[in-house]
């Protein structure tokens, strides 16, 4: 059973228990069609971590990925891209010193992401 099928079951159980609060999920664009088939008419707020309409460095991933691999990136590609950029930025700030790299990673400001 894929992740979307499991998420649909969980959401159906939440709604059957009369829980009406919003539910948020991290998703890639390809999973959305699968989710819509399994979870209709239930509502899940989807968050796409990359996309050309966002004004962040991560938004650069989608067109570059499509140019190179001739398909859209899925969620794990975007998460790996984001993590590697955080690591590379930290190395550039700290130099090749493990303790300083650790400190630079710990000092990342999440409010600008």
52 vs 13 pLDDT, higher one: 13
Count the domains in the chain.
2
Q: How many CB atoms lie within 10 A of CB 35?
A: 22
pLDDT for the residue 113: 45
What whole-number distance in Å separates Cα of residue 5 and Cα of residue 104? 39
Shortest CA distance to 23 belongs to which of 9, 37, 62?
9
Whether the pLDDT of residue 55 is over 90: the answer is: no
pLDDT for the residue 6: 80
53 vs 111 pLDDT, higher one: 53
34 vs 76 pLDDT, higher one: 76
Query: In this structure, what token pair is assigned to residue 56?
Result: 């962040």
Do residues 33 and 82 share a domain? no
Q: Looking at the DSSP assignment, which residues form a beta bridge with residue 25?
A: 46
Mean pLDDT across the chain: 75
Do residues 34 and 61 share a domain? no
| Sole residue written with tokens 């969980």 | 10
Do residues 112 and 85 share a domain? yes
How much is the pTM? 0.52
In this prediction, residues 75-84 reach a mean pLDDT of: 82
Do residues 31 and 78 share a domain? no
Do residues 60 and 96 share a domain? yes
Do residues 71 and 18 share a domain? no
Do residues 44 and 57 share a domain? no
Do residues 4 and 57 share a domain? no
pLDDT for the residue 89: 92
Do residues 85 and 37 share a domain? no
Q: Look up the domain containing 27 and give its range.
A: 1-48
Q: How many CB atoms lie within 10 A of CB 75?
A: 18
Q: How far is CA 80 from CA 22, 30, 61, 84, in A?
A: 27, 17, 11, 6
Do residues 42 and 57 share a domain? no
Do residues 57 and 34 share a domain? no
SS3 state at 43: coil
pLDDT for the residue 47: 57
Q: pLDDT by residue (tens digit) across 27-42?
A: 554 455 565 566 555 5
Do residues 62 and 113 share a domain? yes
Cβ burial, residue 97 (10 Å; 0-12/13-18/19+) = exposed
80 vs 102 pLDDT, higher one: 102
């Amino acid at each position: 059973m894929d992740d979307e099928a499991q998420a649909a079951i969980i959401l159906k159980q939440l709604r059957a228990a009369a829980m009406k609060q919003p539910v948020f999920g991290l998703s890639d664009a390809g999973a959305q069609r699968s989710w819509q088939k399994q979870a209709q008419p239930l509502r899940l707020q989807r968050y796409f971590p990359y996309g050309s309409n966002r004004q962040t460095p991560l938004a650069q991933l989608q067109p570059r990925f499509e140019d190179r691999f001739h398909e859209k990136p899925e969620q794990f590609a975007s998460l790996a891209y984001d993590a590697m950029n955080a690591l590379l930025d930290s190395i550039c700030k700290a130099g090749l010193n493990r303790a300083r790299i650790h400190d630079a990673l710990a000092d990342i400001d999440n409010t600008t992401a």
